[in-house]
Structure 1
Amino acid sequence: MDHNEHIDLSDKKPIKPRTEEEKQQVVNRLKRIEGQVRGIQKMVEEDRYCVDILVQISAIQAAMKKVGHSLMERHMKHCVTHAVHSGDGEDAIEELMKVVQQFSK
């Protein structure tokens, strides 16, 4: 992400709160990714081969996309669907499209 881009950290909550199981699944995935990032830091400190580091970076990017897709799917199924049924679909879809565009950069 470009350092000039602004991220809107909204205080909105999901229409349907995440279950403890859903939260734990996402947190576990993020902790795994955090461990992978620490592993890459160690690889750099140990002056490991560039290609090996790049392969690990690619794995992290794939893992982050998987988490993002999971959250996006949940958002569409609950928040966007609710907005459409309550007459606010256009705004919700516009918001989602901005996120999809940002996500696919």
Structure 2
Amino acid sequence: MDEVAFHVEDGSSCRKSHHPERVKKDLTTRLNRIEGQIRGIKGMIEKDVYCDDVITQLSATQSALNSVAKILLEGHLKGCVVDRLSEGDDAVLDELIVTIQKLMKK
């Protein structure tokens, strides 16, 4: 498995996540598509496209971001969380609760 740096809010690298190459490729593809959607939305606003149409595209983009989050959360649960629990690190549960709360705010 390949390592991907996990960056905290201040940009410092602290822990690593291990995603199989196929998962990283899938996530990158999804994020590239989302990036294109965002550019498209920006263009729609610049061209004064009808608000409802822009909102529809925003909704689709949010859904795509949620899909990325679900994939990452599943990998985190099955990998990082299980590993840390097996090492006796119960603090990962508190971290997971905070992460889920952040996702639910959306």
The two structures share one fold, judged by TM-score above 0.5: yes
Counterpart of 1:40 in structure 2 is 41
Question: Normalization by structure 2: what TM-score?
Answer: 0.85
- Structure 2 matches for 1:1-105, cutoff 5 A? 7=9, 9=11, 10-14=13-17, 17-88=18-89, 90-105=90-105
Q: Report the alpha carbon displacement of residue 63 of structure 1 after superposing the two structures with TM.
A: 0.6
* Equivalent AA in structure 1 for residue 58 of structure 2: I
Q: For the residues of structure 1 that align with 2:85 and 2:21, how far apart are their CA atoms?
A: 26
Gaps of 5+ in 1: 1-5
Give the structure with the higher percent strand.
Answer: 2
Using CA pairs below 8 Å that are at least 6 residues apart, which structure has the higher relative contact order?
1
Aligned length: 97
1:68-95, Cα deviation, whole Å (9 max, x unpaired): 011011000011011111111x211111
User: Is the alpha carbon distance of 1:76 and 1:69 closer, same or farther for their aligned partners in structure 2, counting shifts above 3 Å?
Assistant: same
The secondary structure found in structure 2 opposite 1:47 is coil
Q: For the residues of structure 1 that align with 2:22 and 2:10, how far apart are their CA atoms?
A: 27
Question: Normalization by structure 1: what TM-score?
Answer: 0.86
Q: For the residues of structure 1 that align with 2:71 and 2:59, how far apart are their CA atoms?
A: 18
Q: For the residues of structure 2 that align with 1:40 and 1:97, how far apart are their CA atoms?
A: 33
* Equivalent AA in structure 2 for residue 63 of structure 1: A
User: Is the alpha carbon distance of 1:18 and 1:100 closer, same or farther for their aligned partners in structure 2, counting shifts above 3 Å?
Assistant: same
Identity of aligned residues (%): 40
Over aligned residue pairs, what C-alpha RMSD do you find? Answer: 1.5
* Equivalent AA in structure 2 for residue 71 of structure 1: L
